[in-house]
Each structure stands twice: as C-alpha cells, then as structure tokens.
Amino acid sequence: MKHKFLFIFLFLISICCFAAPLLNQTGNLLQNGSIEGGNFDPVTAESGQSAASYWHQWRNSSTAPTTEMITEAEMQSLYGTGVREGSAALRVKTYGASDGPYTVGSFGHTAWTAAGVSNVPYTFSGWIYVVSGSMSLAAGSNSYGYNYSSTTKVGQWEFVSTTRTANRVDELLLYSNGPSEFIVDSLWLNLGSNSLHPDPVVPECSSLVFLGLFTCFVFFKKH
C-alpha cells in the first residue's frame, strides 16, 4: 500500500512537470495574455501581426525580428523546462535593440479601453525565459515615453513587472535590449501600482522533480 501511494505521488509530480494550468483571466486587461492563440509557423517581418494573436511586431534595428509560437514539448526538448501557462508560449528572436512584439489598446481587451488610458497607474507583468541577450517589458505611449523593467537572468524563467504612473498608457512593448532570443508567456495587465498576476511564483519543474527524488530517497531509506 505504501508503494502505491509513492507511485501516485510521483505520477502527480510528472503531471505538474508537463502540464501548466491555464490561469483564470479575470482582471487581466490583455487579450491572449496566456499566449495560447497564434501561428506556430515563424513570422519574420518589420511590422504587422506577430505569431501571437493580438500581438504585433516591430523593427527598430536593421533586421526584422522573428516570432513563433512554441509548444510545451518544444520547450522541454530545447530548454529542459516547460511553458509557464497552458500549452504554448511565444519565442522571439531579434538582431538589434528595441525590436519585438507590442500591443496597443485597440488590440487589447475591451476593459483596457473602457478603463481609460490617461493619468491612472497600469502594471504590466509576465514570465520571460531569456535564451541569449536581454529584453524589457515597457508600458507607456509613443508620445509621452515608457516605463521599463529589464530581465536579469538567462536560462531560466523570470517574473518581470513594470508600472507606468504618469501620462498615457496605450502601448505595451516586449522589446530586446540588443540581439536577443527570448520566450514570453503568461502576460498580465492590470490597473494599480502592483502586479495582480495570480500566480507569479509557481515552482519550476526541476524543483518538483527534486522534491520527488528526495521523497523517494527518504522512503526507501526508511523501508
């Protein structure tokens, strides 16, 4: 019977490692913030629709960026970790600074437009996996400027958040800080000076596997 419970535990661990739940999107002012909808074929373009639905892309450097949706299985195979939410994420490759996906109020959730875009704080946050280089989340306006928060890690998921508290917020950017490759997932936009992302600290798959192995070690040592 004890062995049965052990196997059930390990089975649940394996499910956690290979299936990231979809979060309740109540309060998220983004369309496709979970990055589940889009095109799994690469999109290389100076401007226009990116591979992710409701997200466009833009080039400020000399070479157009490439975006493509990536599956959970591809994430596991290429990087040894899963996506942060659902079964897909968006991979971005740039060749210079200030390139990448963006969205504006007209692409976003109707509640974003209904809330108004001037003189209220908005917080933009999400999970970023940097393969190389670095990138920034930005919230603001082309006319009035942006507030930025940049990644600090490579080769692991990192939760990044930025708040814009002055002037207009009608555009959100996922831009490179130079030639970069990164994956974005589980993006969130809300009113207020703090992120209301409902799940910013889910343990990584590697942590769950370690917990499972440690439990096995303790179990077999005692028995």
Cα 170 to Cα 55, 175, 186: the distances in Å are 14, 16, 20
> What's the rounded mean pLDDT across residues 85-96?
97
Task: Tell which phi-psi region holds residue 121, choosing left (phi > 0), alpha (psi between -120 and 50) or beta.
Answer: beta
Q: How far apart are CA 150 and CA 117, in angstroms?
A: 23
Q: What is the pLDDT of residue 117?
A: 84
Helix axes 205-222, 2-18, angle to 10 degrees: 170
Per residue in 147-166, pLDDT tens?
999 999 999 999 999 999 98
The CA dihedral of 68, 73, 76, 79, to the nearest 10 degrees, is -20
In angstroms and rounded to an integer, the radius of gyration of the C-alpha atoms of the chain is: 19
Mean pLDDT of the residues in the chain: 86
Q: How far apart are CA 176 and CA 179, in angstroms?
A: 7
Tell me how many degrees the CA angle 193-195-197 measures, rounded to the nearest 5.
160
Assign 223 a pLDDT band (cuts: 50, 70, 90). low
Query: Per-residue pLDDT for 27 more than 90?
Result: yes
Q: What is the pLDDT of residue 125?
A: 98
Q: What is the pLDDT of residue 219?
A: 46
Query: Per-residue pLDDT for 146 more than 60?
Result: yes
Q: Are strands 66-71 and 56-58 parallel, antiparallel or unpaired?
A: unpaired
Q: Domain spanning 24-200 has what CATH number?
A: 2.60.120.260
Q: How far apart are the first and last CA of the chain?
A: 13
Q: What is the pLDDT of residue 173?
A: 98
Per residue in 210-219, pLDDT tens?
444 444 444 4
The CA dihedral of 94, 98, 103, 104, to the nearest 10 degrees, is -160
